[in-house]
Amino acid sequence: MAALTLAGCGGTTGGDESASDGNPVSGGSIVYATDREPTCLDPHNFGDMPQTYVARQYLDSLVSERPDGSVVPWLAESWEVSPDGLTYTFKIKQGVKFHDGTPLDAEAVKANFEHILDPATESATDAGYLRPYYESSRAVDASTFELKLKTPYSALLPVLSQAFFGIQSPEAMARGLEENCQSPVGTGPFIVKTWNRGQSVELDRNPDYNSAPADAKHQGPAYLDHISWKFIEDGSVRAAAVQGRDADIIFNPPPQQVAALKADPNLATQEFTHTGLPNGIALNTSRAPFDDTKVRQAFIHGSNAEAAVTSAYLGVYEWEHGPISSTTPHYKDLRSFYAYDKDKAGKLLDEAGWTQRDADGYRTKDGKRLTAELVYSADTGDTPPADVTLFQNIQSAEKEIGFDVVLKPLPQDQYFAAFSDKNAYDGLTGAYWNSPTPAVLSIVFSSDSLKAAPGNNMSWVENPKIDELVRAAAATTDTAEQERLYGQTQDIIAEEAYQLGLYPVLTRLVAKKKLKDVWIEPSEGEPVLHDAWLAP
C-alpha cells in the first residue's frame, strides 16, 4: 500500500483580520447573514453552495484540505491507497457519535456512499464527482472502510474534503429525503435545532464534539453557544445589518458597498477566491445557434466581457475568462481566445453565413434572425442586480455585431430544472462549479458527465478528445503530467468556445472585529465557525 501525493488545490484568501488577539472564551450567540436559502439542508441532495456553507457547521468530512492542497485527517484518522490507485482504505476515528447518539463506524460511512449514489437522493454534485469512478465499498471491520474504484481518481481525497461529502447518521438518512432535508444529523460542532423556512436555520453547540479536523485551530466543542444562520437576500440590508446590531457576520455584500465596509474600523473582511469553473455563460452546443463553433467564437469575441464585468461590479471582480479560475492548479492563461475583438467576431459570423441584416440591424441567414436566448434565475439571491447589469452590458455589445441576445428570467425552480434540459436554453447564465481540483473539467465538459449526472455538463459537450484527456489526468498522480493533460484540455475548450467566463466565485465575509478566529476552508470556500469566539 502507498500514500498518495496530490497536486495543490487551494484557492486564494485575503488576510484573516479576525485572527485571535487573546485567549478564546466560551459562550454567546451570533447572527450569520447570507443571501441564499438552501433547498435542502442535506448536501448529498442536489448540491448547491448554500447547502455546503451551512452544512460545514454540523457535518464533518473524512478528510480536510489545507490551503496548500494537501489533505489531513478528520473523521478518517489515516488512509492508504493501493499501488494501482483503485483501493482506498480509511481508518475511521473511534469514540465519535452522531448528534442522535448513533456511533460513527465504517458501516455508517458505507451508508453515506450508498445514500449519495441512490437515485432517490437526487444527488447532482456528489454523483458528478463520484459515479464515473465508484466500483464498491465495504466495512472491513468497525474501524476500517474500504472504497474501490473502477479507474484511478487522483482527485478523490480533496473531493471528499468538501461538505458535500459530509458524513451523516445512517439512522437519520433512513427517515427519508424529506425529513433528512429538514434536519440532517452529523457529528459536527453544531446541531441543527430548527429550520424556519424563509428566515433562518438555528444551530446549537454540540457539547460532546470530539472530532475536529487536524487543521482546526482547537480541538473539542465550539466556543459559541448558538448560531442564527439568517437569510437576507438584499445585499444592502445585509451590509446595514453588520454595520448595525442585526448581524455579527455577513456573506458577500453588494459591490457598491465593499469599499465602505473595508474602511469601517469596527469590521474585518476576509476574501477567498474559489478554485474551479468561474461564473459564466454556458453555450448550448446541442442546438442552434451555438451548435456552430464559429457562432460561439463570435459570441465570445463580441461580448466585451472584461468591460462588462468591470462596469457591472465596479472593479470588485476581475474578469476570469477561462474554463478554470486562475487560482486553480494547472490553470493556463488563454486570454487571446476570449479577448474582445469586434472585427474578428464579425468575420466569424460572415464565415458562418450570417451575412444579411434585417431592419433592426441584426444578422440574418435564410430569412432567420441570429438570436440567442440567455436564461437566468429571477431570484435575486441567485442573480443579484449586478449580474443583470452584466448581462445587459453583454447584450448591448452583441447588438453591435448584429447578434440578438434575449435575456429571459425564469422562476427559480424552472431555472434549476433547465440545467438538465438541453432544450431549455441557448445560453445558461450562472454556470459555475466550485471545486478543489482541475478534475472539474471532467465534470463540466466530458461526455462521461452527461451519463453520470445530467446537468453538470451545461454546454452539452461531447468531445472524444476531451474525454481522453480528462480520464488520463484523473488516472495519474504525476503533477507534471497532470499539468500537460489539463493544459491540453483547456486549449480545446478555449478553441471550441464552449463557455464565456465572466468572474471568479468569491467568499467574502465581513464580520464585527469582536468575532474572532473565523476562517475559510479551501475546498469550497466554506466559512468555519467551530473556532470562532466573541471577545468580551
Q: What is the pLDDT of residue 452?
A: 82
497 vs 513: CA distance, rounded Å: 45
Cβ neighbours, 10 Å, residue 220:
14
Instruction: Tell me what the pLDDT averaged over the chain comes to.
Output: 95
Q: What is the pLDDT of residues 394-410, one digit of tens each?
A: 999 999 999 999 999 99
H-type helices in 313-458, by residue range?
342-351, 385-399, 412-418, 440-445, 447-452
Is the pLDDT higher at 435 or at 453? 435
Grid cell digits, residue 497: 468556445
Mode of pairing for the β-strands spanning 63-65 and 71-73 = antiparallel
pLDDT at 18: 56
pTM here is: 0.93
- Domains of the chain, first to last: 12-273+506-534 (3.40.190.10), 276-503 (3.10.105.10)
Q: Which residues pair with 230 in a beta bridge?
A: 33, 200
Measured between alpha carbons, how far is 55 from 38 in angstroms, rounded to an integer? 10
Predicted pLDDT of residue 2: 31
Is the confidence at residue 241, as pLDDT, over 50?
yes
- In terms of pLDDT, which residue wins out, 9 or 86? 86
pLDDT (tens digit per residue) in 121-132? 999 999 999 999
Mean pLDDT of 110-137: 95
Per DSSP, 47 falls in state -
The torsion defined by the Cα of 124, 127, 129 and 130, in degrees rounded to 10, comes to 180
**What are the pLDDT digits (tens) for 321-375?**
999 999 999 999 999 999 999 999 999 999 999 999 999 999 999 999 999 999 9
Fill in the DSSP letter of residue 232.
-
Provide, rounded to the nearest whole percent, the portion of the chain with pLDDT above 70.
Answer: 96
Tens digit of each residue's pLDDT (9 = 90 or more) over 25-62: 999 999 999 999 999 999 999 999 999 999 999 999 99
